[in-house]
Amino acid sequence: MTDTLLSSPESGNRERVRKSLARRHRSEAMFRWAGILSIAAALGFVAILFGMIISKGLPSFWQSTLHAEVYFDPELIEGGPQPERQDSASDADYRAAISQWQRDVTLSNWNAIVETAVRRTAPDFDIESREILALVTSAARFQLRDRYIADPAVLGQTVPVTMLASANTDNWLKGTIDRTQPDSRQQLSASTRQLADRLLAEGVISFDFAWHIFTNVDSRSAPASAGLAGAFMGSLYMMLIVIVLAVPIGVASAVYLEEFAPKNRWTDLIEVNINNLAAVPSIVFGLLGAAVFINYLGLPRSAPLVGGLVLTLMTLPTIIIATRSSLRAVPPSLRQAALGLGASRNQTVFHHVLPLTFPGILTATIIGVAQALGETAPLLLIGMSAFIANIPANPMDSATALPVQIYLWQGNENRNFFEARTSAAIMVLLGMMILLNAIAIFLRTRLERRK
């Protein structure tokens, strides 16, 4: 009985320990599974988002295209053959003759040439001129005009040409509109719809890859031929300006504040303001850019230069904060060792400390550039939402940007067509962002290996 009394406290302690271990193991298992479920949920939502974007946007890269034989009728094309240069004519006279010829060609009845080409694909089909022209994009006449101006030798010849179908025809053939709706609610007439279905069945209309999305600019008169070339170049110019300005200025500011600036009220005030600027809504930077760069300095409205400067101001706090964190992560022993071996303060910072922070600086650059690339609100306030019909040749030309183009297409009245085109533009924006990030990650990996 004495042994039983002595063993009872020990057995009770062991039981409590076992229960405590069991609770701890359960807590650890629950925490581990909670983390796994959280990661799985996050990846699931990302997969759903990307799946929705890709499923909607991918069909836009294939667009209905009409393959026809076009006869460049000399009776319809004004101006005749291209004028040849005479030996006695001056350069000015020859240029004037070419300009007059181009004007005459432009005034030709290209709609009649388009109509004739489409009718030849179904000669037995009875349809009015207005209805047959609704089958193809309104830019088809300009396409044929430019083809003739580039090669006047096609006059009087029949040439195979591919013409984009109109946005309404593309909607009908892809089934993005309700085919059961009455004729009064359809975007195309019954004859045009029947002709489109027939040409698709005969292979005259096919779904070809839409290269024009990458080569054309936005278009309001011919939505089917609208592209992203202007917006892409505008975003590229702005990102180059952000990288050229924000990275060196941000890194230099971070190095000075962390390594050289005296610790006093002024530097404390600067640090507080930098932290506050990182949390300021982006639209405020748009107001600042419109007031300073456009109204005060007189820089051109809608120019990538102004957009790049605004995005630089917005990106600077992010780069400064991230770079300072990288500098603080460098062990103090490295600075002390360099100083102990006779290195100056500048040599210690620029030869020993700063090279170790290059991976962190590139990480800050990735975060800042990715944030700037997707911004829309500040660009709307500096006029980059205007319709631009040309590809910008330099940062001073008027342009738009990919996020703004996405915003404009999402609000287009032809939602059946532009909803999918908007998802395609998002895919292009994500691809550009992934490419820039991949370059930065590659450079960061190379620098880490050198360490």
Residue 5's pLDDT is: 47
Q: What is the pLDDT of residue 298?
A: 87
pTM value? 0.83
d(CA 251, CA 262) in angstroms, rounded, equals 18
Q: Output the 3-class SS for 279-294.
A: CCCHHHHHHHHHHHHH
Q: What end-to-end distance do the CA atoms of the chain give, in Å?
A: 71
What torsion, rounded to 10 degrees, do the Cα atoms 160, 163, 169, 171 define? 120
Give the span between the Cα atoms of 398 and 400, in whole angstroms.
7
Is there a contact between 154 and 81 (Cβ–Cβ < 8 Å)?
A: no
The residue whose two tokens read 């060196």 is 248
| Structure confidence at residue 36 (pLDDT) | 92
From 451, 409, 448, select the one nearest 429 (Cα to Cα): 409
Q: How far is C-alpha 378 from the geometric centre of its chain's CA atoms? A: 16
Amino acid at 112: A
**Average pLDDT per run of 10 along the chain, which is 451 residues long?**
54 77 84 91 91 89 92 87 75 83 88 92 88 90 90 90 91 86 85 91 92 87 87 90 90 88 85 85 88 88 90 90 86 82 82 82 82 86 81 88 89 83 90 81 71 55
What is the predicted pLDDT for the residue at 136? 92
